[in-house]
Structure 1
């Protein structure tokens, strides 16, 4: 029997405050009401409120100024890509924007990988592509597919591409189970991705970019249809 996580009062309060920040009840730049007033409003003690604040501070939605108060942070101006998983959970509208970046960055990575990958990268890519075909079940195929993209990023020799690839996958992690349809058929998933790997291994930059654009566009269409 699977044990499901149980929400604590801190979890509930954190979610409530996050939603109210992201929906604009507490706009960026404004100070939150005093801890005493908020604790009374939500029917919690101040210790619980402080724990929820701590999580939102770590998430980058709040900042505290000693002796002044707790301010809502302008996350669109000051935040980083690490906020994306939280924003996707809040609103699926972010998913389309993530896919737009996925297309452009993914095509660029494939082109760079074709220009820079060495023999070890080629061997790794072939092995990981074979693992896509051998995987069983949509979830396993999806994870195997992701590893090919991580390897493509590593093959560029640019660690920033590696981190960007990780960030994009983490960004749609909250809705990953709803994006599994392109991966339910291992053979089809393999065949969609194979032209990218083949072009990279052959060192054909233009072909790698075109193959990646085709792959990313096709899988994006299927995944967004599933979300809709």
Structure 2
């Protein structure tokens, strides 16, 4: 068995600070108290505090100005989609909003893929679809399903769609285990997804858009029920 990673004091402090920022206890645009005061308040050393600050600066929640102090960034105005996994961990309600975007982007990707996919990409999509039916266990089925969607994005010929697809999947990664409902039966998962692949392979953009929208609505409903 693989040993579980141990949480360090920096991990704990980073988590506490992150939660305090996202919960509004340190409001956007405000400056944090002086380092010595803040370190005493959390019961840590200033060195530990600096390490935690460094991580939160990298995460886009803080900005430090020499001689001025450490400011809480307005992540809602300045942040990017890379913050989504952290926000989902803080509040699972973000998942509903992610799924709304997933639905509209996913349907558009299928439509574009129908217009642009090559015969080689059609064959890849069918092979990956078969892998959904052959996977063992809900986790493996879910991951196989993800690969079909990545391939659909690649088939559009637009790399931004690929990155958007990766971003949306990464966004709900922190709660993925609770979203396995649509993937518990490989045959059913395959049957739900097959119309999307076949519509894309037929080259009918309107049909592909409708099939993807239907698939994403059904799986979203099941996943949100599991999350609740």
Query: What TM-score comes out, normalization by structure 2 length?
Result: 0.99
Name the residue aligned to 1:175: 175
Aligned counterparts, 1:93-172, within 5 A:
93-172=93-172
* Structure 2: distance between partners of 1:7 and 1:144: 31
- Note the C-alpha offset of 1:2: 3.7
* Structure 2: distance between partners of 1:24 and 1:213: 36
Q: Please give the per-residue CA displacement for 1:162-191, whole angstroms capped at 9, x wherever unaligned.
A: 000000000000000000110010000000
Aligned counterparts, 1:146-225, within 5 A:
146-225=146-225
* Structure 2: distance between partners of 1:165 and 1:103: 11
* Structure 1: distance between partners of 2:220 and 2:96: 9
- SS of residue matched to 2:33: coil
Name the residue aligned to 2:28: 28
Structure 1 residue runs without a partner (length 5+): none
Runs of 4+ in 1 over 3 A off after TM superposition: none
Q: Please give the per-residue CA displacement for 1:67-91, whole angstroms capped at 9, x wherever unaligned.
A: 1000000001100000000000000
- Note the C-alpha offset of 1:65: 1.0
Alpha-carbon RMSD across the aligned residues, in angstroms, is 0.5
- Note the C-alpha offset of 1:205: 0.6
Q: Please give the per-residue CA displacement for 1:118-165, whole angstroms capped at 9, x wherever unaligned.
A: 111101101000000000000000000000000000000000000000
- Note the C-alpha offset of 1:66: 1.2
Name the residue aligned to 1:37: 37
Q: Please give the per-residue CA displacement for 1:196-226, whole angstroms capped at 9, x wherever unaligned.
A: 0000000011110000000000000000000
Structure 2 residue runs without a partner (length 5+): none
- Note the C-alpha offset of 1:3: 1.6
Name the residue aligned to 2:55: 55
Name the residue aligned to 2:18: 18
